[in-house]
Structure 1
Amino acid sequence: MDCRLGCGACCIAPSISSPIPGMPNGKPAGTRCIQLNKDNLCSLFGRPERPKVCHEFKPCPVVCGTTNQEAINNITELEALT
């Protein structure tokens, strides 16, 4: 599965504990990553400073669902369970 361009759910819903450029302490769940632009695209995508956890996330139908809102809901639920 390829990411839905402009979704951004994986950059909003989960907490990220590793440093992100502009967010040295990571980010809490439900907070937009500072690197997510107005079109919900990662400005670090493909760059070496992109956090490893972000690089390793791979979209899948179970997590991402069929809509951006479904992805937010699913990732938010997974975050609450962990």
Structure 2
Amino acid sequence: MECTRCGACCVAPDIAALDKPLGMRCPHLSADNLCSVYERRPQVCRDYGADEVCRLIEAPTLEERVHKYLALFGLTAEAEATREKGCTSMRRARGGA
């Protein structure tokens, strides 16, 4: 499957290499939903490839795609709690330093 460049993979999952919490927008995701550090992105981002999940979460907006992603994996409540706390750090969101 070819990447549609929707940006959902840069918002929905947590990304330890970037200390990015679940459900929070990656600080490197530009307004047009493209990676602003694409040439220097971490290996985990380089290794990620579009798959069936991308097809399952198709929706008109990034917000809807992220919502569908989180629901698909049963992570909606955890992501909501992270947003409510205002955590910008994955470690802080999980109760660490």
Structure (1 or 2) with the larger CA radius of gyration: 2
CA gap of 1:53–1:79, structure 2 versus 1, over 3 A, is farther
| Root-mean-square deviation (Å) | 2.1
Q: Where do 5+ consecutive residues of structure 2 fail to align?
A: 76-97
Contact 1:14 1:30 in 2 (8 A): yes
User: Within 1, Cα distance between the matches of 2:47 and 2:20?
Assistant: 17
Q: Does residue 15 of structure 2 align to residue 16 of structure 1?
A: yes
Identity rate, percent: 41
SS of the residue corresponding to residue 53 of structure 1 reads helix
Offset, 1:78: 3.1
Residues 41-56 of structure 1: pairs in structure 2 closer than 5 A: 41-45=34-38, 47=39, 49-56=40-47
Offset, 1:71: 4.5
Indicate which of 11, 34, 53 corresponds to 1:63: 53
CA gap of 1:59–1:71, structure 2 versus 1, over 3 A, is farther
TM-score with structure 1 setting the length: 0.70
Offset, 1:65: 1.3
Offset, 1:57: 0.4
Q: Does residue 73 of structure 2 align to residue 78 of structure 1?
A: yes
Q: How many residue pairs align between the two structures?
A: 69
Offset, 1:59: 0.3
Q: Where do 5+ consecutive residues of structure 1 fail to align?
A: 20-25
Offset, 1:44: 1.8
User: Within 1, Cα distance between the matches of 2:2 and 2:26?
Assistant: 20
For 1:57, the aligned partner's letter is Y
